[in-house]
Amino acid sequence: KAGVTQTPRYLIKTRGQQVTLSCSPISGHRSVSWYQQTPGQGLQFLFEYFSETQRNKGNFPGRFSGRQFSNSRSEMNVSTLELGDSALYLCASSLTGSNQPQHFGDGTRLSIL
């Protein structure tokens, strides 16, 4: 059974640009959550999508957005990139919700120059 797949693994962008990250959950999983991981702040919850609807949201500015498709694949978008957005972005999936044990991908490492 394939795990959670995140693409790309690495990205380098410059300030002001925008970026889209992709996450394919484990087959059958309907909930996809996104996290930002940095050395200073640790693991921070961005949002969760379930059946194409955003169900939970963390405390991030509106520049961070996401969506989920009918096949449960999810994308996360960050607009007007700032230096502080440099981080490892992790996606996790579960059968029914972000309160269930999460299955994580290996992340996308985003570096802002």
Partner 1 sequence: GDSVTQMEGPVTLSEEAFLTINCTYTATGYPSLFWYVQYPGEGLQLLLKATKADDKGSNKGFEATYRKETTSFHLEKGSVQVSDSAVYFCALSHRNRDDKIIFGKGTRLHILP
- SS3 assignment, position 69: coil
Q: Which is nearer to partner 1, 8 or 16 (CB)?
A: 8
- Range in contact with partner 1 (rule: CB under 8 A) among 13-21, 62-70, 79-87, 90-98: 90-98
What's 98's DSSP letter? T
Contact in structure between 91 and 34 (CB atoms under 8 Å) = yes
Q: How far is the CB of 78 from partner 1 (least distance, A)?
A: 19
- The pair of structure tokens assigned to 43 is 């693991």
- SS3 assignment, position 105: coil
Q: How far is the CB of 14 from partner 1 (least distance, A)?
A: 25
- Tell me: does residue 105 bind partner 1 (CB under 8 A): yes
What H or E segment, with its residue span, contains residue 27? none
Q: Which residues bind partner 1 (CB under 8 A)?
A: 4, 6, 33, 42-43, 45, 48, 55-56, 58, 90, 92, 97-107
